[in-house]
Structures are given as C-alpha cells and as structure tokens.
Chain A
Amino acid sequence: AQTVTQSQPEMSVQEAETVTLSCTYDTSESDYYLFWYKQPPSRQMILVIRQEAYKQQNATENRFSVNFQKAAKSFSLKISDSQLGDAAMYFCAYNQDGGSQGNLIFGKGTKLSVKP
C-alpha cells in the first residue's frame, strides 16, 4: 500500500526567508500524482501545487516550488519569500490516478509558523 511520510511535525521560518518542507512516499507504481495542500486555521484545504510523476520538470506556482526526486521518492516543497499568510498546516498527498478514480493519501502534516 502507498504511504506518505512527513517527518517534520513543525517548522518555523522568518518572514521573507525561504523554508523547505519534506515529504517522502512509498509506491511501486511508475505513474502517479503528488500534491501539496495548505490548511490555514480556517480549516479550508487549499491546493498549493501539483506534480505529475511522468514530468521531470519540477512544478512551480509563484513563490512555491517543489523538488521532485522520483528515484528517491521524495517530494519537498520550497516556499520563497515567506509571508505571514503562509502560516498553516501543510499536507503532502499522493494519488494514483490524478483525481478521478482514486484516493488521496495524505501525510500527517507539517505545521508551519512564520515569524515577523
């Protein structure tokens, strides 16, 4: 069975600095999708970024980028120029089929604090 591991329960970053959140996963499949979701105190689950395993190029969305290492089964999230609004729980998630046929398997999350 696929699993997702986030080894950092909590992280802290200074405003305007860069922080990297770690995620590893286990799967025997070659095609799959990986996601980072943000959950602020409002509890809304917000998609931050998504990566297709068949794409070698790392996904980027403005200040958010990933380092996808397929062989190492690693999928870290880098947040540049951190802002106070980035403070939230961040969940890494794995999906086999891209969002229609399968389950999203989540890690336990990393709580990110941003210091002014």
Chain B
Amino acid sequence: DAGVIQSPRHEVTEMGQEVTLRCKPISGHNSLFWYRQTMMRGLELLIYFNNNVPIDDSGMPEDRFSAKMPNASFSTLKIQPSEPRDSAVYFCASSFWFGGYTFGSGTRLTVV
C-alpha cells in the first residue's frame, strides 16, 4: 500500500485566497483525521471522520475551515479565506480498528 497520500506537499498562498488540502487514506481504513502542527500549539486535532461521517469537529478553529469526506478514499480540508496565522503543517492520518494510526507526509502551508 502507498500509505496515506497528501497533496500538495507545500503550498504558498496569499492572504485571502482559498486553500484546499487533499488526503487519500489507506484502503480499508475506516477513520480519517486531520491534524495541524505549529511550534506554539504542537499537534492538535482539527476534525475526524468515522466511516465518512464527521464525528468531532470541535478542533476546527473557525468557520473559515471546512472538511469533507465524500467517500472512503478521499478527504479535503479547505480554508477560505486564508490568513497568515493558518500557516502550519497539516497532517492527515487514517486508522483501522485497533490498528493504530498511519500519517501522511503532511502539507506545509504558508500564507503570506
């Protein structure tokens, strides 16, 4: 298996622009997680899905952030409009029951 695939690996955008991060989980995994990593706050959960259904989105910072999982093999995290404080590394991870988590390589987002 190719693992959890995230794209793009790097994204530089201007403040106010829309940003879409993409994730393809491991086939057969039934849970998907979006994490954000910053120096100040460390790794924090934004949202997670179980069987494509959002279970906990309490970590989503504000209405500018939205996430979707239209099917078992694809998820997006969208920021609209983006702000400089959104600059971070965004990780997607997937898991299967008692199987532990597998992380993607992350997307480094820079908003200028």
Contacts and interface: CB of A to CB of B under 8 A. Distances in A.
Query: For this complex, into which size category does the number of interface residues on chain A fall?
Result: 20 to 34
Interface in A73-116: 91, 95, 98-101, 103-109
Nearest to A104: B101
A35 interface: yes
Interface of A: 35, 37, 42-47, 50, 91, 95, 98-101, 103-109
Q: Which 10 A-B pairs have the closest CB atoms?
A: A45-B103, A99-B95, A106-B43, A100-B97, A98-B98, A99-B100, A103-B45, A108-B42, A100-B31, A43-B106
Given A50-B100, A103-B56, A104-B35, 15 more contacts: A37-B103, A43-B105, A43-B108, A45-B103, A91-B43, A98-B97, A98-B99, A99-B95, A99-B96, A99-B98, A100-B31, A100-B50, A103-B45, A104-B93, A106-B44
